[in-house]
Structure 1
Amino acid sequence: MLKPISLAVALSLSTAATGSAATVLSDSFDYGATTFTNAADSVFGGNWTTSGGTVDYLATGSSFGSLCRGTGGCVDLDGSSGNAGLFSTVASFAAGTYTLAVQLFGSDRGTTESVMISLGSWNTTISGILSAADVSQSFTFATTGGVLSFENAGGDNVGAVLSAVTLDSVATVPLPAGGLLLLGGLAGLAGLRRRARAA
């Protein structure tokens, strides 16, 4: 009879702990009505920085704004200098488990793009981003923490276009007190059964 009780305890432990998510970053790149080629970090409201090259900020309704989707602006990840920059958050994120949702699409300029995304110990590359082909993907992963970065492969001033980013931190909810009481009760039952068998 001990095996079923042990199984019940294991099931109770596995189902009692659940996860909840809190959004730690959400950006639809709505930073004004003016397009900036080789955009300075200040264009992005102190939220993003570019190193080792450039990116362009494209505002909907302005020059090159037709490359954006939706109502906000977007970021051409291969800036007009022809040297794609590493586009990173200013904020650094703690080690933990995250869900990342990104919207990338082709530039409508006849190129196929590849973008590496990284956060701490985690990274992935999205390849084959075609003109006008939206790529909306979500990932769940564990990381040692750090900044979130996007880097377009190539250097021809025509890059993949980033239109939205959401990063959620997934926290583990501790086992509730009721679950601990249930475990104590099951252990007590096991002890009573053992005592009854011995008598």
Structure 2
Amino acid sequence: MFNMKWVAGAVTGAVIGLGSAAANAYIIDFTNANTGTTGTIFGGSVSWTMTASGPLNNSQAFDGTANAGTNAAGLALDTDGYGVGSYDDEVTTFANGEQEWIRVSFSAPVLVDALYFLDLFVARDGSSQEVAMASINGGFPIVSTYATDVFGNSRPGFAASTFAPILVSDIFFTIMSTNDNIGFADGALAGIGLAPVPVPAAGLMLLGGLGGLAALRRRRKTA
């Protein structure tokens, strides 16, 4: 006997899996000096808006040496990306627990399959590492992006999370309290990767799949 909730989940997973096999269709590149706090994607059909706990800032020039992983993401690397504060290019969690945040909201759901950060570092002695957190659609799922660059030697602190596409209307970014033992826990939002499967097409695929499975269920009942 088919459980229709399980079936719906399976088909949704299949649709999401199709998108995960392809490269990003588009990256909202916050390291591009011309990227503001609002914009449009997919030919203007979807708009996005960025808000934060304080003044948004992407004025800090990129101050690292781009490594192969950073270049592979396709980022412009004019700047370090967006942070919070009039003179700060990073999202910071302070020792007293105060936590800065950035939120990116979309006018219509989009399929997100990657998140990119700069200035996330591992401590020189390996004892601690900075971690960026992204809460999707009000809290779940939570995506954690862990630093891989050890602080120093002009490393950019680039870190990425790539995953099967998630249907997203809102992303809330913060930094965990662990740090690189240099200062406060902080990191800059560098980019958001969008999957190539358009949401309307994914919806049609999902409806078609559910319709086919429903027909199969009816056949099984009459057999």
TM-score (norm 1): 0.49
In terms of Rg, which structure is larger?
1
TM-score (norm 2): 0.45
